[in-house]
Structure 1
């Protein structure tokens, strides 16, 4: 018997390859999903830390002081005469972070306080009650600026270390 072998068929047609495109698309989708999940997890964790459970603020037992140097010098009118006011201001806080924010916001604080001091009436601030009211208004002004940057008032007191009117 003669070996009846099937003749080998050699074809020049290219071998059909499976496309890798679905695999690449699948990997990209998985990576995007993981990235989005990580982002959402981080943002929820941060939101929970700021809204759900407010982290305890490390307050110092010691009083921290920040003198606003140089002293404020403003002029204002009293009837027909021009008056001058020189005020030395020092801030006090138990929160070191609030002191740092106040240092960084010094130009904004000074602007607000200059506007406040220059709009005073000589007859009102020449007595003790008027100076105390001005001191309270100055503290409110400083707290607004610190609150806007820090999220809490932070400044416990404002002191006039000098107060000279002419």
Structure 2
């Protein structure tokens, strides 16, 4: 029978304590490697997404089509004979629309002459009236081009001169 344990002698021989620092070092290395690998994967993914996204095409410069000669029409005033003289230019950035504007120039002039002849001088006295006329003229041009089966990307109708008398 083994001798009973005394206060000076332990009953079971003591095992040497394991040191924690090698285990912690391995854990830190593994976590750092996983973090670095995750960062590397994320950067590669971001670069692949940036390459896959198509770049926006550069915006084409505005092209202006002058409708020559100046428009001169009688206004629709009842109280007196009044005239409108306007120099008009059409604005587009689309080459196909530019070609269509040149092709259908006579029809566009006709539509705009009819539109301008329906105006009254009091409507055109204020800026808002002139801006409404510009929008109506743009809509007329677009409608004509659409009816002809042409591209209708007309951005604006601008007046380079507008005189009422």
Alignment correspondent of 1:96 = 95
Q: Is the 8 A contact 1:59 1:95 kept in 2?
A: no
Alignment correspondent of 2:64 = 65
Give the superposition deviation at 1:134: 0.6
1:152/1:162 Cα in 2 relative to 1: closer, same or farther (>3 Å)? same
- Structure 2: runs of 5+ lacking an equivalent: 1-56
Q: Distance in 1 between matches of 2:164 and 2:149?
A: 34
SS of equivalent residue, structure 1 residue 82: coil
Alignment correspondent of 1:165 = 164
Q: Distance in 2 between matches of 1:89 and 1:146?
A: 17
Counterparts of residues 12-161 of structure 1 (less than 5 Å):
61-161=60-160
Give the superposition deviation at 1:148: 2.3
Runs of 4+ in 1 over 3 A off after TM superposition: none
- Structure 1: runs of 5+ lacking an equivalent: 1-57
Q: Is the 8 A contact 1:125 1:131 kept in 2?
A: yes
Give the superposition deviation at 1:152: 3.4
Q: Distance in 1 between matches of 2:110 and 2:76?
A: 19
Q: Is the 8 A contact 1:59 1:94 kept in 2?
A: no
Give the superposition deviation at 1:76: 2.0
Give the superposition deviation at 1:80: 2.3
Considering only aligned residues, what root-mean-square deviation do their CA atoms show, in Å? 1.8
